[in-house]
Amino acid sequence: MNTELLMKEETNAPLQVLRPDGTLVSSEGMPEITDNQLKELMRKMVYTRVWDQRAISLNRQGRLGFYAPVAGQEATMVGSQSALDKEDFILPSYRDIPQIVWHGLPLYQAFLYSRGHQHGGQIPEGVNVLMPQIIIGAQIIQCAGVAMGFKLKQEKQVAVTYIGDGGTSQGDFYEGLNYAGAYKLPAIFIIQNNRYAISVPVEKQTAAKTLAHKAVAVGIPGIQVDGMDILAVYRAVQEAKRRAANGEGPTLIEALTYRFGPHTMAGDDPTRYRTHEELGEWEQKDPLIRFRKFLESKNLWSEQEENAVIEQTKQDIADAIKKTDETPKVRIPDMIDSMFEHLPPHLEEQKAEFLKREGK
C-alpha cells in the first residue's frame, strides 16, 4: 500500500480524489479503474438511492420490517464493495444491505430479511456474505475469524466488515482489530463515521483525534478518507486489499460520511439532535451529485442514462416485492428443522406438536 495512504498526521486532510464540485484534486490520485467501471459505480449509487427511497415508503406502509436508511452513505458502501472481488467475504452490520446485495444476495431475500423471514438469511451458494449483524461490534471479531481461515488455507481472499462510529467504542472492536493485527490477517475494517451513534455525536464517543487513530494501538495501518467521495473510498479499499492479499495484514479505514435520514425507521427523529444547517452543509457534499458532475465532465454520463437506471430500479423493486409477498410464510416446524442437521428428541417432540396443531 502507498505509504502516503497510511496513518496521516492530524493536520492533514482525509484522502480525497474528487472535490465536492466534481473536479479532480490531482490526476495522480485516480485509482486504477476503467471508464466502464466508473459508469457502473454511478449506476449502483443511483440504484441504491432509489431503492432506499422506496424501502422507506414500504416501511411506512407496513410492508417492510426493520430498515436503516442509507442515503448519503452510498459512496462508502458502493465504493468499498466495488473494489472487492466476488471471492472476497463481506460481514455487514445492519445498515449494510446494499453491499451484500451488490455482492450477490438477491434483492427479494433482503426484503424477506427485513420482514424477519427465515429464507431471508438462507444465503445462496457462491455468495460470500453473512447476514447483517445486529449485535454492535460482533462482526469485527467474526471478520477476524474468517480472515484467519483464509490465512490458514493460504487463500488470497479478503474479509471485509463495516461498523459505525458508535460501534468503535465496543470491546469487540478492539479485540477483533488486535487479533487481526497480531496475526497479520487479510482483513479490511471500514468505519462508516456518519457522526452520530443514533443521537450521540462522535465527539462524545471518544477523545481520539480521529477514529482512524485507533489503528495505532493495535499496530496496523489506519487511513481517514472522504466518505462522500466514491473514488477515494474505492482507492483506499483497493490498496488495502492489495496489502491483505500480499500477506501484509489488515487495514482500518475511517470513511467520513453522513446519513441524510434517521438512524432507523423505528421512531428515530434526527431533528432532535442535529441542526438543519448541519444537514444542509452535508447535502452540499452529496456523493451522487459530486460523482455525476465528474462523469458528465468526461462525457460518461447523461440524464437519459440516469433516468433509465431509475426506471429499472423501480421495476426491480416491484418484482422483488412481488416475489417477497408470494413467498410462503414461515412455519414453526420449518424453523425447528433448520436448527440442527439431526433434531434432538425434545425438538422432535415440539415439531410433532406444532404439526399436530396444523392438522398434519
The total of other beta-carbon atoms located within 10 Å of residue 116's CB is 11
65 band by pLDDT with thresholds 50, 70 and 90: very high
Q: Are 94 and 134 in contact (CB under 8 A)?
A: yes
pLDDT at 5 over 70: no
CA distance 229 to 20: 8
Which residues are known to be catalytic?
A: 259, 263, 273
Check residues 6 and 241 and name the one with the higher pLDDT. 241
At residue 1, the pLDDT reads 47
CA distance 289 to 302: 13
Q: Which of 187, 179, 161 is nearest to 240 (CA)?
A: 187
Quick one: cell of 9?
498526521
pLDDT at 157 over 90: yes
At residue 245, the pLDDT reads 92
At residue 86, the pLDDT reads 97
Q: What are the tens digits of pLDDT across the range 243-289?
A: 999 999 999 999 999 999 999 999 899 999 999 999 999 999 999 99
The total of other beta-carbon atoms located within 10 Å of residue 171's CB is 10
Q: What are the tens digits of pLDDT across the range 80-130?
A: 999 999 999 999 999 999 999 999 999 999 999 999 999 999 999 999 999
DSSP state of 14: P
pLDDT at 9 over 50: no
Quick one: cell of 63?
410492508
Q: Are 91 and 133 in contact (CB under 8 A)?
A: yes
At residue 338, the pLDDT reads 87
**Mean pLDDT calculated for residue range 140-160:** 97
Quick one: cell of 165?
462510529
At residue 230, the pLDDT reads 98
171 band by pLDDT with thresholds 50, 70 and 90: very high
For the chain, domains (ranges, CATH) are 3-328 (3.40.50.970), 330-360 (no CATH)
Which conformational region is residue 62 in: left (phi greater than 0), alpha (psi within -120 to 50 degrees), or beta?
A: left
Contacts (Cβ under 8 Å, ≥6 apart) of 286: 72, 228
Task: Give residue 319's Cα distance to chain centre.
Answer: 23
8 band by pLDDT with thresholds 50, 70 and 90: very low
CA distance 283 to 260: 8
50 band by pLDDT with thresholds 50, 70 and 90: very high
CA distance 63 to 276: 30
Of 1-10, 324-333, 339-348, the poorest mean pLDDT is in 1-10
Q: Is 33 exposed, middle or buried (0-12, 13-18, 19+ CB in 10 A)?
A: middle
| Consecutive H or E run containing 145 | helix 138-152
pLDDT at 217 over 80: yes
